[in-house]
Amino acid sequence: MYHPSQKNSSSTKIYVAENENMWYNVKWIMCFCTKKTVRKVVFIMEYKFSDKVSKLHASAIREILKFTSDPEVISFAAGNPAPEAFPKEEIAAISAELLRDDPILALQYSITEGYTPLRDFLKGWMTEKGCFHKEFDDLIITSGGQQANELSCKVLLNEGDTLLVENPSFIGSLNAFRSYNVNLKGIDMEDDGIDLNKLENALKTEPNVKLLYVIPNFQNPTGRTMSLEKRKAVYELAKKYDFIILEDDPYGELRFAGENIPTIKSMDTEGRVIYSSTFSKIISSGFRTGFVSAPAPIIQKIVVCKQVSDVHSNIWAQVVSHRFMSTVDREAHFKKLRDIYRKKCDLMCSYIDDGFSKKISYIRPEGGLFIWCTLPDNCDMNAFCTKAVKDYKVALVPGNAFSITDGEVSHSFRLNYSTP
């Protein structure tokens, strides 16, 4: 039985164990939990984490999401697809047929590059969209867009190299980049995308700029879309300053207003653009199926790194994704998704316009899942979002959760209109 006098000097954290009838070997302290002493204080060792992960912190979204387990809370904080957007019946039918007729294909190990028919399908589809250049590109299936972005950083950047990102940007990618100890530098955005003057200034002043990460379509978190002029200018800067662009496009198919704008990848003539996308927002986020289209030498390195990470992505989900994409009426499915999100976006915008137009300014998104709302300058955003969830049972994400540097002040918050 533990006694406080036994406190180990290197054990600084106190944890409460809820297990019953169990012996704990906590360094040299033994602690027994009986049925009567359900909760027991134990001291455990202090962990010395690697430099790589010590700078990572739990995202503010997760902190806010903790409150959303309260059934009374209406959450506009997550980024999940709308429940009605999942093609449930088609997936059930394809899965049943697959497991009945070809179970070993779905259950056996597969190859790292991905299920060949899916890769071939994607190469064709991406060629039509200008996002695959037969002359120099190859394509790999990844475990979601998240892994696509993480591995792109891993294969190209050394510790201390500079990676430029839009500020604010997608937390998942930022944390992936941080884990490689790169010099992460945020470039402010304007309504039509990254601020080109600030971008060029950073290119002149930051050391070893190797990569620029952008989300040109309906950016997460701002919902902004990069204009055609800016996409062209960004590509010209990449040539001038010799860096690679990582173009992340999970929301491209979800344009419900305005005109399509060519991807930066479609302008690529010399293998400077890595294009990553995912089925998360158009088939299923749980499938964890994404892909990267990039120059073949980059894909070869990603293959090696992916072998180390997870061998290959879920093969059942890859086969179902392939059968779904190649057998259903894709355009009809995408139209259905666009109709769902247009309606939801219109509804949320009309409530903002009717109820808060004097206080909140925002740019109406032309697609995707998010609205970026800005309040007057004197508003403390963390306090605002905490009050919203605690007192009014509405969950929002404070803008600084998406900032590049700690302690940055933001007067904005992100609203997601896809759920509930």
Ligand X SMILES: Cc1ncc(COP(=O)(O)O)c(C=O)c1O
Beta carbon of residue 61, minimum distance to ligand X (angstroms, whole number) = 10
Nearest residue to ligand X, by Cβ distance, number only: 144
Site string for ligand X, 390-409 (x = CB under 6 A): --------------------
CA atoms of 4 and 18, how far apart (whole Å): 19
**321 part of the interface to ligand X, by CB under 6 A:** no
Over 18-29, what HEC string results?
CCCCEEEEECCE
Based on CB atoms, which residue is closest to ligand X, 216 or 398?
Answer: 216
**146 part of the interface to ligand X, by CB under 6 A:** yes
Number of separate helices (H) and strands (E) present in the chain: 13, 18
Rg of the chain in Å (alpha carbons)? 24
**144 part of the interface to ligand X, by CB under 6 A:** yes
For residue 243, CA distances in Å to 198, 209, 236 come to 16, 7, 10
**145 part of the interface to ligand X, by CB under 6 A:** yes
Beta carbon of residue 79, minimum distance to ligand X (angstroms, whole number) = 5
Based on CB atoms, which residue is closest to ligand X, 33 or 273?
Answer: 273
Residue 214 burial (CB count, 10 A): 26
| Cβ contact 264:245 at 8 Å | yes
**290 part of the interface to ligand X, by CB under 6 A:** yes
**170 part of the interface to ligand X, by CB under 6 A:** yes
**248 part of the interface to ligand X, by CB under 6 A:** yes
CA atoms of 402 and 337, how far apart (whole Å): 26
Q: How long a stretch of residues is the chain?
A: 420
Stretch of 140-148, 230-238, 305-313, 344-352 contacting ligand X, by CB under 6 A? 140-148
Residue 232 burial (CB count, 10 A): 13
Beta carbon of residue 36, minimum distance to ligand X (angstroms, whole number) = 45
**Could you tell me whether strands 394-395 and 74-75 are parallel, antiparallel, or unpaired per DSSP bridges?**
parallel
**247 part of the interface to ligand X, by CB under 6 A:** no
Q: Which member of 60, 73, 79, 244 binds ligand X (CB under 6 A)?
A: 79
Beta carbon of residue 146, minimum distance to ligand X (angstroms, whole number) = 3
CA atoms of 244 and 262, how far apart (whole Å): 18
Stretch of 59-67, 201-209, 278-286, 401-409 contacting ligand X, by CB under 6 A? 278-286
Q: Which member of 68, 75, 167, 220 binds ligand X (CB under 6 A)?
A: 220
| Cβ contact 180:153 at 8 Å | yes
Three-state secondary-structure class, residue 238: helix
Residues that bind ligand X (CB under 6 A): 79, 144-146, 170, 172-173, 215, 220, 248, 250, 278, 280, 285, 290
